[in-house]
Structure 1
Amino acid sequence: MTPVNAQSALMQIQPTILRFTKMLASVLQLEVEIVDANMIRVSGTGPYGKFFGRKLNSNSRLLRHVLDTQEEKVVIHSRFDPVCDGCTNKENCREKAFLGIPIMFQDCCIGVISLVAFTPEQQERIKDNFQEFFDYIRHISNIFVSKLLEKQGADSGINKVFLSLIENMDQGVLVLDEKNQVKFANETALKQLSFHQQQIVGKTINIRPLTFQQNYTSGHLQHIVSFDDHQELIIGQLHDIQDHQLFLMAFHQSHSLINLDFNQDDPRIEHLVGECKSMRALKRLVARIASSPSSVMVVGESGTGKEVVARAIHRLSDRNDKPFIAINCAAIPDQLLESELFGYVKGAFTGASPNGKVGLIQAANNGTLFLDEIGDMPLMLQAKLLRAIESREVMPIGSSKPITVNIRIISATNQNLEQYITEGKFREDLYYRLNVIPMTLPPLRERQGDIDLLVHHFLNTHTKRIGSVYPGITPEVLEMLKQYRWPGNVRELSNLMEYLVNVVPNGEVIDAALLPPNLVSGQTLRSYRENDSPYHSAAACENHGASGLENMERQMIEEALSRHANKKQVAEELGIGIATLYRKIKKYELASH
């Protein structure tokens, strides 16, 4: 029998192959390229996602090798394989690893399915899993042969090849049409939803991210899957593919008892993650006041995310395309803070830049100026800042001519500024100028129910950043995290999730054995930080032995400073923010370190 014409066979069903290719790349986290026997590109992703229908050049030696030998081929270090000898493009080649499988039909090779690595992480993925990938792609190749060459159309809008693929996946998969009606669900998804195939096909299902709507298709997020009067919280990725929605469930699911009955009309603000009562109220307030030019003061303990709130206000405002300038008043020495804020003209003082310097207030013109740790601003600068706010002008050091500015000021503090005013440390008139719209950020220990959301948010953030597989997390660990007091607040939780993502084996579950010993054993080394809040009364400090805690705190900071030259490393070791560290150094007169 004459073999089927390879080019016409593959190119005739190219739309199906394109859908298949995109899904395969998403599942395996590698780039995919499919060519026919004439070395014509039928489909591809990433760098191979263009020039379909065009014949590849003679430098595609690895693909040609698979076609000629009709054998599988894996190359862990591209350019150094003997097959690559003589390639004129070797020096410019960005491929780090390659895996190719021939598509065989009636003893003839009619094309190649290839997986390609472009990053060290992808290269390691091929190196560690190439045998599993061979088995997987070999199965897909067989599906191609048996299904693609059959002259069958789509089945209810989904090609049977596509169905055969997802039937054999270990991940739960739902396929919805443009009306959110289920077209297909594989066995894993049916078990997850406790349904039978005949019960779910045609059912309308709504899938939406739990935390925010922007950019949610990249990475794993918690999604609310709603059908009839039932809701499930499922971790996964949602993809839009040619009038269909493809929902890929994560291998590991965390079955939390989170309350899903929150107000659907509450704004979804990216990075402001949380659905507790106080966070919902905060997000509604942010959405309401974002377009106003009035000053905002955000009050909260260190690590609660005050700058995240400030950036959210800026992004939602009419100034979102203008500068957002942030300055930490505690992290800059007093003698430099004035020149940073107001700038200076040429020759203003000894050591000044010969070209002068534009101050941050002027740099934020028409945009937003974020003043973090405003309570640490010296009184002299407070007076100058007040004049700038009232006159809408700045006077650079050494200049006789003011510069008009239009800025919105968002300030933040973890200090009790009203007490500072009483003690003469902060100007009352400036306080009322800055505190036009007050916002209070709750500490993490008071945000009941938000731990689950934040854990999965940071797991997604850090796995995407370092290129690792999204891990599971045991109910035991989640319960331990809910019981912990979180003196470092959201920043401490983010740091912990980054640590766990780095130490958990790829694709496995985070259990209690992976937690740092100090989190498991208790609060001994952290107890002093819980009393480091400006909202504790003097009596409360006395009841907790304030002087003893301060001595312990001073000693720990001194020891950490002696071990590290970099203050960021010191702050990370102590589990506090860099601004808090500078404040403590000033408090205990440790500046000589």
Structure 2
Amino acid sequence: MLNTTHQSELMQLQPTILRFTQMLSAVLQLDAEVVDANLVRIAGTGPYSKFFGKKLNTSSRIFRYILETHQEKVVVKSRTDPLCDGCTNKTNCRETAFLGVPIMIEGRCIGVISLVAFTVESREKIKENAQLFSDYIRHISELFVSKVLDMNDSEHGLDKVFTSLIENMDQGVLVLDEHSRVQYGNTPALTNLNIEKEELVRVEVNIQPLSIHNNDLKGHQQHIISLGKRQELVVGQFHDIQGHQLFIMAFYQPNTSFSNNEAPKAQFTGVIGECKKMQQLKVLISRIASSPSSVLINGDSGTGKEVVAHAVHNMSDRVDKPFIAINCAAIPDQLLESELFGYVKGAFTGASSKGKTGLIQAANQGTLFLDEIGDMSMTLQAKLLRVLEEREVMPIGSNTAVPVNIRIISATNRNFSEMIATNKFREDLYYRLNVIPIHLPTLKERGKDIELLIHFFLDIHTRKIGVSYPGITPAVMLRLNAYHWPGNVRELSNLIEYLVNVVPEGDVIDIDLLPPYFEGTVLEQKNDHQIIDESIMSLEEMEKIRIEEAISRLSNRKLVADELGIGIATLYRKIKKYGLSSHSS
């Protein structure tokens, strides 16, 4: 028999149910609706976000079916389903798919929670994830209704229900009031922020987007969460729900923090890395930045030589003066001379009638960066040596030298010892350029810096392209860490830009998006220090076996999730991913 009391049990909890429904809709990216046993709308989103407390005035055959049979119902072909026969609203119905789950208390059905699709894309989402969504909603529903039974035990029953719902979410959630003060954080949020619940209440918390111009983008973005003097980089998104804001964190987090006092200087923005070699490099840059002495940066192609040159310039007294960069290997020798030294009117056939100021003169008081200096001809090397010795430049066709005050930073991936021995590079110029040598390590030598660089480039390329910040699965991170990176940091940046372009909006970068050449990557298994080829046993295969074994042994999904140390929603996603049985043993 259906509940026919004047105000249903669900209506007594309407504010909390509405907040829950809005949160559920935001997480699953589908519209949701809740009705009680009297077919009164308790809560809803999208087209169902109004007329709360009123009985549905159109045909409610599907809701009635669920209320009477106590069975969930999935409709992925609207208008053709037998339950839709005779519906008076059939011709005007805009729903493309429907998933309804009964709300059961002690054998009674007191209402229905439903997900509704209005587009072909949303219909496919329900069709492909029907069991996953119904299991998830049923689990949350069971948690929710258990609180209904004792809602009169405390004046704060509504708050207890709401916080219980949030506490059982896999994603970290912060609840903020109308003044943007944090009122509550669930366990995953506290873990992400590395803070205790008691401290969260005491400390001043501020959340700001990392990229202000990305505010209008939908989906997850990077935010700086200030906790007193400490700051954490967190990926998440805001949702407004009845005077409260929910900051819902992504499942993936960059795991990066810094304090206000120890925040990296702006000059080191592009020099990303915390390995020993990169820390030594940063110390060296800090020490030599203010010197006028020449710097020679040596490193393999793609290791970031120009980034380091910029860092030296930005930390020097010349920071507000020009930084002029030129690639000596990319410009023909005859053109390079006129680019570097400039020329006067009529210096040669085809010369501009106004003459031209050379890059050396343009860099006066600042820094001249000569990339691939090893490709410069012997003739130009002699002229450059004169500039370094005399601190003046002679434009082509001129008889008057122009004084210059520049610092030269050069870079190469060539072996100067061999070039000097074979008379391809002047030894005296080499010693002039190599006053302060800097060697850049390859990316493979930098260990866990790869992960820092991945998140750095994810932020760079999502902002450049104008898309949401995507997650990246542990399996992908493991492959990228194991790869040998012949193209170094440049290759990693290019790969991340590619992945940001191809990953579906709001999705996570999974292993199937990686280019084919990552398939043969050998991974290191930390236990017993064994090297396991993925063709023998991948981490995903091991995870699948472990989940399958736990499901067959334990009585319900919650016990399985607890044993595996993951949330229930994460468990359902993995069951779907690996094609395992979604029914309890």
Which bin holds the TM-score, normalised by the shorter protein? 0.5 to 0.7
Deviations 1:268-314 (A, max 9, x none): 61111110001111111112221211111111111011001111111
Instruction: Name the residue aligned to 2:497.
Output: 498
What is the deviation of 1:377?
A: 0.5
Residue deviations 1:135-184, cap 9 Å, x none? xxxxxxxxxxxxxxxxxxxxxxxxx9xx99x98997633769x9xx9843
What whole-Å deviation, never above 9, does each CA across 1:165-206 have from its counterpart, x for those lacking one? x98997633769x9xx98433437546459999634434489
Please give the per-residue CA displacement for 1:210-255, whole angstroms capped at 9, x wherever unaligned.
xxxx977777559799899xx997633799xxxxxx9956423147
Q: Answer yes or no: is the 8 Å Cα contact 2:189–2:249 preserved in 1.
A: no
- After superposition, the Cα gap between the structure-2 partners of 1:492 and 1:356, relative to the gap in structure 1 and judged at 3 Å, is same
Alignment of 1:386-465 (within 5 A): 386-465=385-464
Match of 1:172 in 2: 173
Cα pair 1:235 1:253 within 8 Å, conserved: no
**1-structure distance, mates of 2:233, 2:323:** 36
Query: Is the 2:222–2:469 Cα contact (8 Å) retained in structure 1?
Result: no
Q: Which amino acid aligns with 2:282?
A: K
TM superposition shift of 1:267: 5.6
Q: Would the aligned equivalents of 1:182 and 1:202 in 2 still touch at CA under 8 Å?
A: no
Percent identity of paired positions between Structure 1 and Structure 2 = 52
Q: Distance in 2 between matches of 1:462 and 1:196?
A: 30
Q: For the residues of structure 1 that align with 2:293 and 2:237, how far apart are their CA atoms? A: 39
For residues 313 and 472 of structure 1, what CA distance do their matches in structure 2 show? 33
* Counterpart for residue 480 of structure 1: 479
Tell me which residue corresponds to 2:149: none
C-alpha distance in 2 between matches for 1:279 and 1:318: 23
* CA distance, structure 2, for counterparts of residue 340 and residue 499 of structure 1: 34
Matched residues in 2 for 1:247 and 1:296: separation? 51
Q: Distance in 1 between matches of 2:336 and 2:511?
A: 45
The aligned residue for residue 96 of structure 2 is: none
Q: Is the 8 A contact 2:367 2:407 kept in 1?
A: yes
Distance 1:484 1:232, change over 3 A: farther
Check conservation: 2:210, 2:222, Cα contact below 8 A: no
Q: CA deviation at 1:422?
A: 1.6
Deviation at 1:345, TM superposition (A): 1.0
Q: Which amino acid aligns with 1:341?
A: L
Matches within 5 A, 1:264-343: 269-343=268-342
Contact 2:275 2:448 in 1 (8 A): yes
Letter matched to residue 330 of structure 1: A
Match of 2:428, SS state, is helix
2:366 partner amino acid: G
2:343 equivalent in structure 1: 344
- Structure-2 separation of matches of 1:196 and 1:291: 40
Are the structure 2 counterparts of residues 450 and 195 from structure 1 closer, same or farther at C-alpha, using a change threshold of 3 Å? closer
**Uncovered stretches (5+) of structure 1, i.e. residues with no partner:** 1-26, 29-125, 130-159, 240-245, 524-593
1:355 Cα deviation (Å)? 1.6
Q: Label 1:388 to 1:184 Cα distance change in 2 as closer, same or farther (>3 A).
A: same
CA contact (8 A) 2:172 2:186 kept: no
Report the CA distance between 1:419 and its aligned residue: 2.0
Q: Within 5 Å, which residues of 2 pair with 1:184-223?
A: 184-187=183-186, 190=189, 192-193=191-192, 199-204=198-203
TM-score normalised over the length of structure 2: 0.52
- Partner residue in 2 for 1:378: 377
| RMSD over equivalenced CA pairs, Å | 4.5
Cα separation, 2, equivalents of 1:398 and 1:312 = 35
**Paired AA for residue 251 in structure 2:** H
Matched residue SS, 2:201? coil
Measure the CA separation in 2 of the matches of 1:277 and 1:197: 31
Check conservation: 1:266, 1:284, Cα contact below 8 A. Answer: no
The 2-side partners of 1:293 and 1:312 are apart by 15
**For the Cα contact (< 8 Å) 2:234–2:254, is it kept in 1?**
no
Q: Check 1:293–1:462 CA distance in 2 against 1; reply closer, same or farther (3 A cut).
A: same
> Does structure 1 conserve the Cα–Cα contact (< 8 Å) formed by 2:185 and 2:197?
no
Contact 1:173 1:188 in 2 (8 A): no
Answer yes or no: is the 8 Å Cα contact 1:237–1:247 preserved in 2: no
| Structure 2 residue aligned with 1:74 | none
Any unmatched runs of 5+ in structure 2? Answer: 1-25, 28-118, 123-158, 215-220, 239-244, 523-585
Tell me how far apart the structure 2 counterparts of residues 425 and 326 of structure 1 sit (CA, whole Å).
Answer: 23
Distance in 1 between the 2:435 and 2:426 partners? 15
Describe how 1:564-583 pairs up with structure 2 within 5 A. none
Task: Tell me the equivalent position of 1:466.
Answer: 465
The SS at the match of 2:452 is helix
How far is the alpha carbon of 1:367 from its aligned partner?
A: 0.9
Structure with larger Rg: 2
Mapped partners of 2:431, 2:465: distance in 1 = 44
Deviation at 1:518, TM superposition (A): 2.1
Superposed displacement of residue 462, structure 1: 0.7
Q: Which runs of 4+ in 1 moved over 6 A?
A: 126-129, 166-171, 194-197, 205-209, 214-219, 222-228, 258-261
Change (3 A) 1:518 1:203: same
Secondary structure of the corresponding residue to residue 202 of structure 1: helix
- Tell me the distance in 1 between the aligned counterparts of 2:406 and 2:438: 19
Please give the secondary structure, in 1, of the residue aligned with 2:368.
strand
Gap change, CA 1:198 and 1:503, over 3 Å in 2: closer
CA distance in 1, matches of 2:207, 2:366: 33
Q: Deviations over 1:545-573 (max 9, x none)?
A: xxxxxxxxxxxxxxxxxxxxxxxxxxxxx
CA contact (8 A) 1:207 1:226 kept: yes
Q: 1:396 to 1:434 in 2, by over 3 A?
A: same
The letter for the 1-side match of 2:453 is L
How many angstroms apart in 2 are the aligned matches of 1:127 and 1:218? 31
Aligned to 1:10: none
Give 1:359 shift: 0.7
Change in CA separation of 1:127 and 1:451 when aligned onto 2, cut-off 3 Å: farther
Cα distance 1:175–1:409, how it changes in 2: closer, same or farther (>3 A)?
farther
Q: CA deviation at 1:264?
A: 5.2
Change (3 A) 1:338 1:215: farther
Please give the alpha-carbon distance, in whole angstroms, between the structure 2 residues aligned to 1:496 and 1:376.
Answer: 28
Structure 2 Cα separation of the partners of residues 440 and 254 of structure 1: 32
Confirm or deny: 8 A CA contact 1:234 1:249 kept in the other structure.
no
* 1:235 paired to 2:230: no
In 1: Cα distance, 2:386 partner to 2:195 partner: 70
Distance 1:505 1:199, change over 3 A: same
Instruction: State the AA in 2 paired with 1:360.
Output: L
C-alpha deviation, 1:356, in angstroms: 1.4
